[in-house]
Amino acid sequence: MAENQTNLPEAPPTLPKPAFHDPKHHLKIYQGDCLQILAAIPADCVDLIFADPPYFLSNDGITCHAGRMVSVNKGKWDKSQGPDLDHRFNRTWLAACQRVLKPNGSIWVSGTSHVIHSVGFAMQQLGFKLLNDISWIKPNPPPNLSCRYFTHATETLIWAAKNKKSKHTFNYKLMREINGGKQMKSVWTLGAPGRDEKRFGKHPTQKPVALLERIVLAASNAGDVVLDPFMGGGTTAVVAVRLRRATVGVEFDAEYAWLAARRVMAELLAVVVVAESHAPSLDVGLLFMDRSDPETFAHPMAPLTKLVQRECRFYFIGLTRREVIFTIQAVSLDEAWQAFRNCPKSSETIFSVIKTETEIYLAQ
């Protein structure tokens, strides 16, 4: 950081405009350097932090993906600067996280052997209270191509409270219940993110939703503030929104920040559609039923049916209140937009458009 040459007091840093902001669901995604964003966040205001920092493993090695030898490199952000500088970076961002944690707040950091020892040591240096280290076992790790090491099949998560005095949140009973009535151990077996979790795009080190769900459920409560300084493809935000936590995510790379926003938007939409279940023709109860599937119609109760109505309808969801603000029957999205532009609410910003196709059959 440049030295202050003027001796004038430095203005407190101000938060930039978030790249994605949903006040209704208390969600903000910032695109930028987490050190700058964290410096502008007030002290003592976050309940839970999940951090998946650079692993410092992208140093031109090889690994195996889908049976092929591929480069291990994840991106420029993951290159090591050497052990001293890497450790200094870990200490810096951990200190920034510690400042914004509430007195009873806690932090989880995930990492491989390349980074996790430095993270643990930095936590000790900074006076965090170490609570647990979790061994996350990956059931299908890539084979070790060199055959000179055991197959790397685990990642470590360190869980620590802000300081020695912290009375951290731990939802012990819930964890025991999830674990079939037995105390949950510090060894977790969880698979890689499923295809569904990558339907909006991929991040090279994306964490599974199941992992974040367990962490958020274990160490926070509904309404708490969850922060992820290295948000990548937004797994933490997706889970936090689902579990009704307020969320702040920070991601350096614009493409990943946008991926995170897309994933979260889909999540919010699902919440909105459920909330709109009173809308007469939205038919949310059968949201996941594919009525174009002939088997669905070959119902024994209605062997002969006659198509009596077919309609294609568009629902325009407003950004501010996330409600249906305009609906129209139209043959195409273009035609629906045309009609929307001529309606009294056309000045409202649109969050999304839902298209439904309905066919009504009468039994004969």
Ligand X SMILES: C[S@@+](CC[C@H](N)C(=O)[O-])C[C@H]1O[C@@H](n2cnc3c(N)ncnc32)[C@H](O)[C@@H]1O
Contact positions vs ligand X (CB under 6 A): 33-35, 52, 54, 77, 203, 205-207, 230, 232-233, 235, 250-253, 256
Which sign does the torsion angle of CA 44, 46, 50, 54 carry? negative
- Among residues 134, 140, 113, 114, the alpha carbon closest in space to that of 218 is found at 134
CB nearer to ligand X: give 253 or 323: 253
Smallest distance from the beta carbon of 160 to ligand X, in angstroms? 18
**CB 210 → ligand X: shortest distance, Å?**
12
Task: Give residues with Cβ within 8 angstroms of 344, minimum separation 6.
Answer: none
99: its two tokens: 């400042």
Query: What angle (nearest 5°) sits at the alpha carbon of residue 221, between those of residues 170 and 197?
Result: 100
Q: How far apart are CA 77 and CA 66, in angstroms?
A: 24
Q: What residues are paired with 181 via a beta bridge? A: none
The least distance separating ligand X from the CB of residue 202, rounded to whole angstroms, comes to 9
**What are the DSSP calls for 125-142, one per residue?**
HHT-EEEEEEEEE-SSPP
Which run of H or E residues covers position 31? strand 27-31
Least distance CB 258 / ligand X (angstroms): 12
To the nearest whole angstrom, how small is the minimum distance from the Cβ of residue 268 to ligand X? 18
**CB-wise, 28 or 207, nearer to ligand X?**
207
Q: Which is nearer to ligand X, 29 or 273 (CB)?
A: 29
Q: How far is the CB of 44 from ligand X (least distance, A)?
A: 21
Closest approach of ligand X to the CB of residue 37, in Å: 8
Question: Min. distance of Cβ 213 from ligand X in angstroms?
Answer: 12
What CA–CA distances, in Å, run from 207 to 276, 282, 302, 338? 31, 33, 46, 41
Positive or negative torsion for Cα 208, 261, 230, 130 = negative
Distance CA 148, CA 145 (A): 8
Shorter beta-carbon distance to ligand X: residue 105 or 233: 233
Residue of this chain nearest to ligand X (CB atom)? 232
- Tell me whether residue 252 or residue 258 sits nearer to ligand X (CB atom): 252
H or E segment to which residue 80 belongs: none
The tokens for 180 are 């079939």
CB 263 within 8 A of CB 200: yes
Cα–Cα distance, 122 to 158 (Å, whole number): 12
Nearer to ligand X, 202 or 299 (CB): 202
Nearer to ligand X, 47 or 251 (CB): 251
Nearer to ligand X, 101 or 215 (CB): 215
